Structure 1
Amino acid sequence: MLTISQVAAAAGVTVRAVRHYHAKGLLVEPERDHSGYRRYDAAAVVDLIKIRILADAGVPLSRVKELLDAGDDDFKKSVAEIDKRLRLEIRERQGHRERIARLVHGDGLALPPEAVAYLERMRELGIPERIIDGERDAWILVAAQQPQSMEAFIRSKVGQLDDPSVVETYKQMEAMLDWQPGDPRLETIADQIVSQLEAISPEDWAAYVDADQAMPPELVALLDSMFVEQVPVAGDLMRLVEKRGYTGWTKLERIQT
Structure 2
Amino acid sequence: MLTIGRLASYAGVTIRAVRHYHQIGLLQEPERDASGYRTYDAAAVVRLIRIRTLAEAGVPLARVRELLDADPETFAAATADIDRRLRGQIRTLQEHRRRIARLGGGDSLAVPEEVVDYLERLRAVGAPSVLIEGERDAWILMAARWPEAIPVMMAEKVAQLADPKTVRLYHLFGRIAESGADEELLRETADLMSDLFEQASASGELDRQDEVMPDAAFIGLVDAFADAAHPAIGRLRELIAERGWTGWTRVAKREA
Aligned pair in 2 of structure 1 residues 186, 11: CA closer, same or farther (>3 Å)? farther
Between 1:71-80 and 1:221-230, the stretch displaced more is: 71-80
- Helix, strand or coil: the match of 2:161? helix
Are the aligned partners of 2:200 and 2:206 in contact in 1 as well (CA < 8 Å)? no
Q: Gaps (5+ residues) in structure 2?
A: 31-38
CA-atom RMSD, angstroms? 4.2
The answer to whether structure 1 residue 192 and structure 2 residue 189 are counterparts is: yes
Aligned pair in 2 of structure 1 residues 94, 236: CA closer, same or farther (>3 Å)? same
Are the aligned partners of 1:161 and 1:167 in contact in 2 as well (CA < 8 Å)? yes
Are the aligned partners of 1:26 and 1:65 in contact in 2 as well (CA < 8 Å)? no
Which of residues 195, 203, 206 is equivalent to 2:203? 206
Provide the C-alpha distance between the structure 1 equivalents of 2:166 and 2:142, rounded to a whole number of angstroms: 22
The answer to whether structure 1 residue 139 and structure 2 residue 139 are counterparts is: yes
Are the aligned partners of 2:130 and 2:178 in contact in 1 as well (CA < 8 Å)? no
Provide the C-alpha distance between the structure 2 equivalents of 1:59 and 1:199, rounded to a whole number of angstroms: 60
| Aligned equivalent of 1:221 | 220
Deviation digits for residues 131-156 of structure 1, max 9, x if unmatched? 12222222232233334433443333
Provide the C-alpha distance between the structure 2 equivalents of 1:228 and 1:158, rounded to a whole number of angstroms: 24
Provide the C-alpha distance between the structure 2 equivalents of 1:212 and 1:132, rounded to a whole number of angstroms: 23
Are the aligned partners of 2:114 and 2:151 in contact in 1 as well (CA < 8 Å)? yes
Aligned pair in 2 of structure 1 residues 179, 218: CA closer, same or farther (>3 Å)? farther
Aligned pair in 2 of structure 1 residues 21, 158: CA closer, same or farther (>3 Å)? closer
Are the aligned partners of 2:11 and 2:49 in contact in 1 as well (CA < 8 Å)? yes
Amino acid at match of 1:225: A
Provide the C-alpha distance between the structure 2 equivalents of 1:90 and 1:224, rounded to a whole number of angstroms: 42
| Aligned equivalent of 1:114 | 114
Amino acid at match of 2:136: R
Q: Structure 1 residue 227: deviation in Å?
A: 0.9
| Aligned equivalent of 1:59 | 60
Q: Structure 1 residue 27: deviation in Å?
A: 9.4
Q: Structure 1 residue 234: deviation in Å?
A: 1.2
Provide the C-alpha distance between the structure 2 equivalents of 1:16 and 1:220, rounded to a whole number of angstroms: 58
| Aligned equivalent of 1:97 | 97
- Count the aligned residue pairs: 246
Deviation digits for residues 88-139 of structure 1, max 9, x if unmatched? 2222222322333333345556444433322222133232232122222222
What aligned pairs does 1:37-52 form with structure 2 within 5 A after superposition?
A: 50-52=50-52
Q: Structure 1 residue 162: deviation in Å?
A: 1.7
Amino acid at match of 2:67: L
| Aligned equivalent of 1:246 | 245
Provide the C-alpha distance between the structure 2 equivalents of 1:111 and 1:91, rounded to a whole number of angstroms: 21
- Helix, strand or coil: the match of 1:162? coil
Provide the C-alpha distance between the structure 1 equivalents of 2:26 and 2:232, rounded to a whole number of angstroms: 75
Aligned pair in 2 of structure 1 residues 159, 205: CA closer, same or farther (>3 Å)? farther
Aligned pair in 2 of structure 1 residues 120, 68: CA closer, same or farther (>3 Å)? same
Deviation digits for residues 52-85 of structure 1, max 9, x if unmatched? 2311214328x53553343323332332232222
- Helix, strand or coil: the match of 1:156? helix
Are the aligned partners of 2:11 and 2:48 in contact in 1 as well (CA < 8 Å)? yes
TM-score scaled by structure 1? 0.69
Aligned pair in 2 of structure 1 residues 234, 196: CA closer, same or farther (>3 Å)? closer
TM-score scaled by structure 2? 0.69
Are the aligned partners of 1:103 and 1:109 in contact in 2 as well (CA < 8 Å)? yes
Among the aligned pairs, what percent are the same residue? Answer: 41
Q: Structure 1 residue 228: deviation in Å?
A: 0.8
